[in-house]
Chain A
Amino acid sequence: MEIYLPIAGMSMNFFLIIGIGGLVGFLSGLFGVGGGFLLTPLMMMIGIPPAVAAASDSNQIVAAASSGAFAHWRLGNVDFKMGLVILAGGIFGGTIGVQLVKVLRAMGNFEFVMKVVYVIMLGLVGSAMFVESLRTIRRSRSQAATAGAAASEPKLAKLFTKMPLKMNFHRSGLHTSAIFPFAIGTIVGVMAALLGVGGGFIMVPAMIYIIGMPTIAAIGTDLFQIVLTSANVTLQQAFVNKTVDLLLALILLAGSTIGAQFGAMAGKRLKGEQIRILLAIIVLVLTVKLFLDLVLTPDDLVSLAPAKGGGH
């Protein structure tokens, strides 16, 4: 069954899109990550123009994260104050990012920059996870692992308490400088626009290990800010680049929500380190594929550049 995507301007197999959405949803349910960082490269692989892939994924993330954020909000896991500071950075960064996309598209190297950033980021995340989960498996005793994690007190967090612009973050039980949450919000905002990702896989570790927030508050707050950051990116992409394919986003969403439910079920049957090593392998395979795209001689040296201003 083919479906015509109006903004991408192409017809695609409906089941292929919903299947990819389902696969990413399954993985995100299994691993507890947003999955945006897997979705955009997969969309590009099946031939969706990179700018449309990134913009539509942002739109899809708004939906995926809002359901999670809603659940956490009811459980009281959202630190709104922290979320808003990060959000301020995220909106600032997202706006820069969208303008950056515009410039890069005009220069014809958007795809190149996107892939380089992906390779670096996925490479780092993938290898870190791989090493960490291998270590955990070797230790083979889950008790030792949790003890180790708890022992690593965030050292940077102490430094931030000495910086200016201090604020009280009640829900997180912190009294720390607002500069760092703002800065990390900015970085993730730029990446959200550039890559079409929510940024949770960077934000959550940063909030736990660097800012020093409790894990559950970090996840809840992260989801809350992802909804708003991705909403901002979606708006900006719609205004500036006109590349949001709502139809594509909705099909992805349908696939990913169903997949996420099955992923969560499967997650209960597998051990944590097995899950993580699986995710690490997927991420590394994707990294290698993207890296090869950059260094192998392309089939076509001449390619179509998006018209100025995108769209028509």
Chain B
Amino acid sequence: MIPQSFEYLCPETIPEAIALLQQHGDAAKILSGGQSLIPMMKVRLARPEYLIDINRIAGLQYIKEEDGFLKIGGLTREADLEASDLIRSRYPIILDTATLIADPQVRTMATIGGNLAHGDPANDHPATMLALGAEVVAVGPRGERIIAVTDFFLSVLTTALEQDEILTEIRVPAAVPGSGGAYFKLERKVGDFATVGVAAQITLDGAGVCRRAGIGLTNVGPTPIKAHRAEECLLGKPIDEEQIRQAAQLASEQAQPSSDLRGPAEYKSSMVKELTKRALARARERART
């Protein structure tokens, strides 16, 4: 399948890229990893007249802790997240997530910035970033602004990014003692999109009481879903089996799945419950170590 013809632009700096976005408006799309966009272009669901390749822009691939945040450059590849000792040791929920995206070849090219900016509820990082309480940095002609991930996903393939903005960085609050998280994904086969995915991130205090809880759901609605009622029921309580069961039930009630080739809606809701239990149990295990 052949994409519609387009002009290919390869800016070397962010300001250049933004100027091109301004110049061409809706006729332009950013090319990051391309692992969501190019398949859409091949079936002509996406028909940009101008493709702005940002892969040659320096300074957008990094994973570091700074000023109380884990900062990840938008162009960081999923394979880089998988290989990062910092991610593996201090943010294993992100390793869980990156590892479960597609397959090794796709992970060579795919970027975390693209995974968020594309706005597909089936992408995996959104739920994890909701659970982590992350924010993104958007750069445009009006300067730089920070968007909380909870405000970022508006509807299917639509985010809070303006047409002339580029997502340059993801910021996650730095890991604190007593925190732990996990991402679980149910898929028909390896490499598939999620039938259901659940991200859970908790912080326990010295007495084992939950001080913070974040739960994000993948592919059970038009956007990734923050299961805030499940989160609230955990606060101020120790995370025991009964609490986990209650939170899992509340999370499944917040899911809005559609019946499709991955299964009936009722099945997906009950899988949200099961995966929430597993994600919370693993998060608790990691929080205690």
Tell me, yes or no, whether A binds B: no
Binding site for A on B (CB under 8 A): none
